[in-house]
A = this chain, B = another copy of it.
Amino acid sequence: MNMDVIVSHINSYVSLNEEEVRALSSALISKTIKQGELIVESGEPARYMIFMNAGYVMTYYTDKEGFDHVIQFASTGWWSGDLYSLSENVPTIYSTRALSAGEVLLFPKAAQDQLLDKYPKFERYFRILFHNALMRLQFRIIENYSATAESRYLSFRERFPGMEQHVSQKHIASYLGITPEFLSKIRKKLQQK
């Protein structure tokens, strides 16, 4: 199993010793993903946090009318997964789908709990991880309030370089909270500039 990406990610916050790397390694499950594959399906309780070793995925939920709403993209070096479902053990409302071939590391809830109990360094890592995610999300909320759809689109392209090639326009529109038709108009307008 290729541990390079995750270990260097974790080491940017805390510094793991050999034993901790080994413990982490034996907790993780590597999984190759194919383009279009459903990694997590809504309706069952989430069992893993998902770390991207390579490739792109998106997480979305499907409303009562059957429309998908994309709430997150993730690429190499990012975590994904439904924290709420994981911790409360309720069925997740989100599905996660591969947008390209790649590899993910699955981190089962039980193994995570064990690791957290045994090695306080992981407590610290996840504290900082959640802390940072929280800051980013706060920023996104502000952005959503104050910015227009066009500028949100531009900032999507900045924040997820390369992602646009892998995602259909309708999913980008969904992530931005607008209709595909309107995104189409925005792109046309931007080209003319």
Contacts and interface: CB of A to CB of B under 8 A. Distances in A.
Interface of A: 61, 63, 69, 71, 83-84, 87, 116, 120, 123-124, 126-127, 130-131, 133-135, 137-142, 144-146, 177
A140 B139 CA distance: 13
B142 A144 contact: no
Given A123-B124, A130-B130, A141-B141, A135 B84 contact: yes
24 contacts: A61-B142, A63-B146, A69-B142, A71-B141, A71-B142, A84-B135, A84-B139, A87-B135, A116-B124, A120-B120, A120-B123, A123-B123, A123-B127, A124-B127, A130-B133, A130-B134, A134-B134, A137-B138, A137-B141, A140-B141, A141-B141, A144-B144, A144-B145, A145-B177
Contacts of A146: 63, 69
Specify the main secondary structure of chain A where it touches its partner.
Answer: helix
A-B pairs with lowest CB-CB distance, top 8: A130-B130, A127-B127, A120-B120, A123-B123, A145-B177, A84-B135, A137-B137, A130-B131
A140 B144 CA distance: 11
Given A69-B146, A71-B141, A84-B135, 11 more contacts: A71-B138, A83-B131, A83-B134, A87-B135, A120-B123, A123-B124, A126-B127, A126-B131, A130-B131, A141-B144, A145-B177
A95 to B, nearest CB: 14
Contacts of A142: 61, 69, 71
A1 B127 CA distance: 28
A182 to B, nearest CB: 14
